[in-house]
Structure 1
Amino acid sequence: MRADENMDYHLARLLILISHFGGPGSKGIDGITKLAKLDFLLRYPSFTDRLLPSRNASWPLGCEPNDNEREAVESRSIRYKYGPWDNRYYPLLGRLVGYGLAESFRGRSGVVVRLTEPGAQLARQLGQSEEWQVVDGRSEMLSSRFNLQGNRLRKMIYEALPEVIETPS
């Protein structure tokens, strides 16, 4: 990961996302593929928007993608092994674990990650802040409508959004 990237932003976003799937005492998020695909849906709401009807879902009030998100160059994803920035997951998860905000262990699909109590508390505080409310609302919707196995998420995304896999990596 480049030093000039905003690591705090990525850590906060992942902390909030994981909190809706893997709090203390839960099974956690099983597999980097699942985490990456959920994060893809969180980071690129214009793509998620297209998947919502198939899941009988809609955006929570105030969490809909805005015009900037719909038209952003970043909405044109580039395919990687796990997601649009997959080489960052392990260092970011390592930091969350190192800070005592998350724990990881071996699961059926590889690495399982879930938050510790301090991580869950920080995620709640962030999610209640004005700056992070939309991310929190979107993460909550993803947990209720897209809590699928990583490979099933991947298949759904690639079938419904063929341009994601047609973009050269």
Structure 2
Amino acid sequence: MAKLDFFTRYPDFFEAARAAIDNTTATSAPTVDAVESSMVRHHYGPWDKRYYQVLGVLEAKQLIAVTKHKQSYQIALSPMGKERAKALAAKPSFQDLVARQREVKKAFGSKSGTFLKDLIYRLFDQEVGKRTLGQVITP
């Protein structure tokens, strides 16, 4: 989840990573000029310290369900969460974000967290991998 969020928040990194796995050239300008909410370097890649808080609130409001599967946690929208997400996605103010998330899902949605972590560290070693833990990631 965090790695897909990273590619949503950092469109330049997304375009470079997509081009690297597709063996194509990155497209020109991203749809967003600046990163709205930065992430930090964590042990396993980009991270947002607010995840635990946000996920807890979403679960308490019954918008997501969190289940443990082997050594990982599965996060899924609840039926009410799907309804709310669909309503937000239909709003014009969210169209750019929805389009970008669809592109991220298409390119990386089937990849494992380990694959994405390794890809991020390989392609963005200076911007992510070489940062100290907790340091903000900048494009």
Fold match, TM over 0.5? Answer: yes
Stretches of structure 1 that go unaligned for 5 or more consecutive residues are 1-34
Distance 1:132 1:167 in 2: 31
Distance 2:102 2:10 in 1: 15
30, 51, 54: which is aligned to 1:65? Answer: 30
Map 1:15-164 onto structure 2 (within 5 A): 35-56=1-22, 65-66=30-31, 68-69=33-34, 78-147=40-109, 148-163=111-126, 164=128
Alignment deviations for residues 129-161 of structure 1 (CA, whole Å, 9 cap, x no partner): 121111111111111110211111100111111
- What is residue 129 of structure 2 aligned with on the other side? 165
* Higher alpha-carbon deviation: 139-148 or 48-57: 48-57
Percent identity reads: 28
- Greater fraction helix: 1
* Higher alpha-carbon deviation: 81-90 or 36-45: 81-90
| Structure 1 SS opposite 2:49 | helix
* Corresponding residue pairs, total: 129
Runs of 4+ in 1 over 6 A off after TM superposition: none
Higher relative contact order (CA 8 A, sep 6+): 1
The 1:125–1:149 alpha-carbon spacing in structure 2 relative to 1, beyond 3 Å, is same
Report if the CA contact (8 A) 2:3-2:46 is conserved: no
TM-score normalised by structure 1 residue count: 0.66
